[in-house]
Structure 1
Amino acid sequence: MIFKVYYQESKKETPRRENTHSLFIEAETKPDAIKRVETNNPDFNVEQVELLEGKALEYEQQGVNYKLVEY
Structure 2
Amino acid sequence: MIFKVLYQDSVKRTPRRETTKSLYVEANTEVEARSMVESVKDYNIEYVEPLEGNHLEYEKKSPDFKITEFEK
Name the TM-score, length of structure 2 as normaliser.
0.95
Structure 1 unmatched ranges of 5 or more:
none
Q: How many residues align?
A: 70
One-letter amino acid of the structure 2 residue matched with residue 54 of structure 1: G
Q: Which residue of 2 aligns with 1:44?
A: 43
How do residues 1-71 of structure 1 correspond to structure 2 at under 5 angstroms?
1-41=1-41, 43-71=42-70
Moved over 3 A (4+): none
Structure 2 unmatched ranges of 5 or more:
none
Give the % identical residues. Answer: 53
Root mean square deviation, CA, Å? 0.5
Shift of the alpha carbon at 1:19? 0.6
**Distance in 2 (alpha carbons) for counterparts of 1:32 and 1:21:** 19
Name the TM-score, length of structure 1 as normaliser.
0.96
